[in-house]
Amino acid sequence: MRVVQFFILAVILGWCFSTTQVVGNDTGLAQTSADSIIVSNSTFTPNGDGGEENKDFFEVKSKENNPVSLKVYNRFGTLVFSAEDKVCRWYGHSSSGEKLDNGVYFFLAGVRGVSPEITTKGTVTLLDKEDSIIVSNNVFTPNGGQDFFEVISKGNNPVSLKVYNRFGTLVFSAEDKKCRWDGRSSSGQKLDNGVYLFHAEIVGMSPKITKIGDVTLLGKEE
């Protein structure tokens, strides 16, 4: 169904807009053949860290004196965001400020007030790291109310969970949409009380979506 939705939207956008060709390069920067519209960060993670590997926004720039218009559509063809300026940035929210779901969106960009028309279109992937992995019960007591440490993937992909002891030895691993650790090793051995390190990662995503932290196991006599 999603493939059909994307195909229909792509056909509609292709009929309605003439575009210049977009050419990718190793820097993650796309430019039109006329070099009038620059598109950056076609995959971005609006988690506020500003890091080079985790871009916080999708950006469209005009190299002309005229502003550029940007329109973003979801997979159903609904316009969710629009802007017009010399530099347009989309942080993964709708025009009304509503936080949007992770996924692939279509964009249309055009330089305003020029003839012939200068436009470009393509896809942009929104990956919100903070919402993709949910961690629960960082302090837990088996048989004591909070019986397990839990990591959940909110997307369609499973999450990989690895737990290490204080010596850096891997003691537990799992891969599923929902991973739970009950304080035992992968072989079923009861582990000592203490602080452990966990590493969670969404499987099959690029760039990687990870979460690292500590979890405290407090045993209770049965």
Judged against a pLDDT cut of 70, whether residue 8 lies above it is answered with no
Question: Can you tell me the mean pLDDT for 6-19?
Answer: 45
On average, the pLDDT of the chain sits at: 80
Q: What ranges make up the beta strands (E) of the chain? A: 22-23, 29-32, 37-40, 43-44, 58-62, 68-73, 79-85, 87-90, 103-111, 118-126, 133-136, 139-140, 149-153, 159-164, 170-176, 178-181, 194-202, 210-217
| 45 contacts 86 by C-beta, under 8 angstroms | no
Neighbours of 183 (CB within 10 A): 24
pLDDT for residue 159: 93
pLDDT tens profile 71-97: 999 989 999 999 999 999 998 889 988
Let me know if the fold of 2-127 is the same as that of 130-217: yes
pTM for this predicted structure: 0.51
Judged against a pLDDT cut of 80, whether residue 108 lies above it is answered with yes
Q: Where are the domains of the chain?
A: 2-127, 130-217
CATH fold of the domain at 2-127 = Immunoglobulin-like (2.60.40)
pLDDT for residue 81: 97
Match 């009861």 to its residue by tokens: 190
Question: Which CATH number is correct for 130-217, 2.60.40.4070, 3.90.1300.10, 1.10.1660.10, 1.10.150.120?
Answer: 2.60.40.4070
pLDDT band of residue 130 (cuts 50, 70, 90) is low
